[in-house]
Amino acid sequence: MSSPSSQLATLRRMSIYEPFHQISMWGDTFHGDASPNTGSSTIVQVDTRLDNQTEYLSHNSVEPSRSDQEANKPSEKTQRRLAQNREAARKSRLRKKAYVQQLESSRLKLAQLEQELDRARRQGIYTGSTSDGSHFGLSGNINPGITAFEMEYSHWVEEQNRQIYELRNALQKHITDIELRILVENGLNHYNNLFRMKADAAKADVLSLISGMWRTSTERFFQWIGGFRPSELLNILMPQLEPLTEQQLIDVCNLRQSSQQAEDALQQGIDKLQQSLVQIITEDQSSSEIYQSQMVAAAEKLEALESFVNQADHLRQQTMQQMYRVLTTRQAARALLALGEYFHRLRALSSLWAAQHLESA
């Protein structure tokens, strides 16, 4: 895989690099007065922060200072609440461990599936599952990277549904902010896992990833460069977060404007890439040698799609992190719940649509 510098050099040769200098301004536009401890252009890695904060919260909650211990012994109610917090943190770590083990189990199942497909292919009974062969190379083999991603994504959706259920119950029971913060950071970490999975899949076959066949038909209808538009996400969440303070409203509006500017820059790059591909494909093809060289050049240009997907996911991740800094813990929990339910309803709509047309057929 080429380095980021060589990718940018490729984009310059393709005349689609110009918009990317605008994207470097995201950090400045995102950076505002949302939080005094917000970095200018870095993303807080929730994977690390989750573990650190979980340990920090449980440790500091359980370990008051010596002077406090001597002056005031915690009441029975306080001790019971602290024990509940420790238990919530312990369960969170167990869920994370179980999720990792589930992914490892999926990889073993994938290896078994590949063996079965290879055996069926040798017997001449495997014809493929897609009409355009999007998962197949010239030899007709399934791209194992995309197959692994699709399996991981199905488990990701199952875990997201479980988290939605847990968040809904937590908000109804009015649990403490400490316990709720753990659930919120678990949710953010879950989306970061998706972005990591997509980056690996983009390296394997970015065209299969960007076509969105791993999503339902309704989700693909709203898809933009391999995922959702951050600005549209903010439009969906805003009504669920009211009432917002005046400062929160200003911060969210600034975030939405910055997201739209970055989306426009990425879209300009995609449009230029499409134009350059059309120009190459429609050039003179008077000989087989020229035709072959043109197809090779077009394929090389398509490699730039990986950069676009990674940039788009970076924007999505940045938007979610900035929203987390702007909102209170309970608002962030409501935002994650609303986002999860939105994608759940899109998938339900796809199932309903497919069932109706299956009956009519």
In a domain, 81, yes or no: no
Query: Domain total for the chain?
Result: 1
Residue 356: pLDDT band by 50, 70, 90 thresholds? confident
Residue 6: pLDDT band by 50, 70, 90 thresholds? low
In a domain, 51, yes or no: no
Measured in whole angstroms, how far is the alpha carbon of residue 74 from the centre of its chain? 42
Residue 22 has pLDDT above 50, yes or no: no
In a domain, 125, yes or no: no
Residue 32 has pLDDT above 90, yes or no: no
In a domain, 308, yes or no: yes
Range of the domain at 164: 146-356
In a domain, 216, yes or no: yes
In a domain, 236, yes or no: yes
In a domain, 78, yes or no: no
Higher pLDDT, 323 or 99: 323
Q: Over the chain, what HEC string results?
A: CCCHHHHHHHHHHCCCCCCHHHHCCHHHHHCCCCCCCCCCCCCCCHHHHHHHHHHHHHHHHHCCCHHHHHHCCCCHHHHHHHHHHHHHHHHHHHHHHHHHHHHHHHHHHHHHHHHHHHHHHHCCCCCCCCCCCCCECCCCCECHHHHHHHHHHHHHHHHHHHHHHHHHHHHHHCCCHHHHHHHHHHHHHHHHHHHHHHHHHHHHHHHHHHHCCCCCHHHHHCCCCCCCCHHHHHHHHHHHHCCCCHHHHHHHHHHHHHHHHHHHHHHHHHHHHHHHHHHHHCCCCCCHHHHHHHHHHHHHHHCCHHHHHHHHHHHHHHHHHHHHHHCCHHHHHHHHHHHHHHHHHHHHHHHHHHHHHHHHC
Q: What is the pLDDT of residue 318?
A: 95
Q: What is the pLDDT of residue 119?
A: 55
Residue 135 has pLDDT above 50, yes or no: no
- Cα distance between residue 270 and residue 70, in whole Å: 65
Question: Which residue do the tokens 């055996």 mark?
Answer: 119
Q: What is the pLDDT of residue 226?
A: 92
Q: What is the pLDDT of residue 285?
A: 66
**What φ, ψ does residue 339 adopt, rounded to 5°?**
-65, -45
* Among 62-71, 128-137, 148-157, 174-183, the least confident range: 128-137
Average pLDDT, the chain: 77
Name which of 361, 336, 354, 346 is nearest 160 in CA terms.
336
Residue 225: pLDDT band by 50, 70, 90 thresholds? very high
Q: What is the pLDDT of residue 357?
A: 79
pTM over 0.75: no
Residue 166 has pLDDT above 80, yes or no: yes
In a domain, 123, yes or no: no
Assess contact for 146 and 130: CB atoms under 8 A: no
Q: What is the pLDDT of residue 182?
A: 95
